[in-house]
A and B are shown apart, each in its own frame.
Chain A
Amino acid sequence: AEDTGVRVELAEEDNGRKSTIALRLWVEDPKKLKGKPKDNGAIEFTFELEKETPEDVAQEMIESGFFNESDVKIVAKSIRDRVALIQWRRERIRP
């Protein structure tokens, strides 16, 4: 995945069957963000693979004050890259 400066990883083991996964997102390179992130804590959240989109979560993070509106695309892309990787792995394990 391209380095957006925002890191997203699984917050717990993915057994490949759950439709809701726990993810953790944090800023690794604040210089890549347009706005100034609130603090450099890691943000844990759950993501429903079938129902939700990365853009939903990114927008909620903006509205919760974690990021500047100008960074919604970077945040959404970082989440989308990680979710795509998880789904790709799942298809390889259980085609």
Chain B
Amino acid sequence: GLHAQVVHSAGRRFIVSPVPESRLREP
């Protein structure tokens, strides 16, 4: 899937990926 990336000014990279389907349905 498309992984959006955001790099913070301090240099840390945040990679956004879809939440693992199995985790969304957890009670």
Same assembly: yes
Residues on B with C-beta less than 8 A from A63 are 8-9
CA of A64 to CA of B13, assembled, Å? 10
Chain A contact surface mostly? mixed
| A39 to B18 alpha-carbon distance, docked (Å) | 10
Rounded to whole angstroms, the CA-CA distance of A78 and B3 in the bound complex is 23
Number of B residues, CB within 8 Å of A: 16
- Please measure, in the bound complex, the distance between the C-alpha atom of A42 and the C-alpha atom of B18, giving whole angstroms: 6
Cβ of A87 under 8 Å from chain B = no
A-B contact count (CB 8 A): 45
Cβ–Cβ < 8 Å partners of B16 in chain A: 39, 41-44
If A26-B19, A28-B23, A28-B26 touch, whether A43 touches B14 (CB-CB below 8 Å) is yes
A53 close to B (CB within 8 Å):
no
Number of A positions contacting B (CB below 8 A)? 19
Q: What are 19 A-B residue pairs whose CB atoms fall within 8 Å in the complex?
A: A7-B23, A26-B19, A28-B26, A40-B19, A41-B4, A41-B16, A42-B16, A44-B14, A44-B17, A45-B12, A45-B15, A46-B12, A57-B12, A60-B8, A60-B10, A60-B12, A61-B14, A63-B8, A66-B6
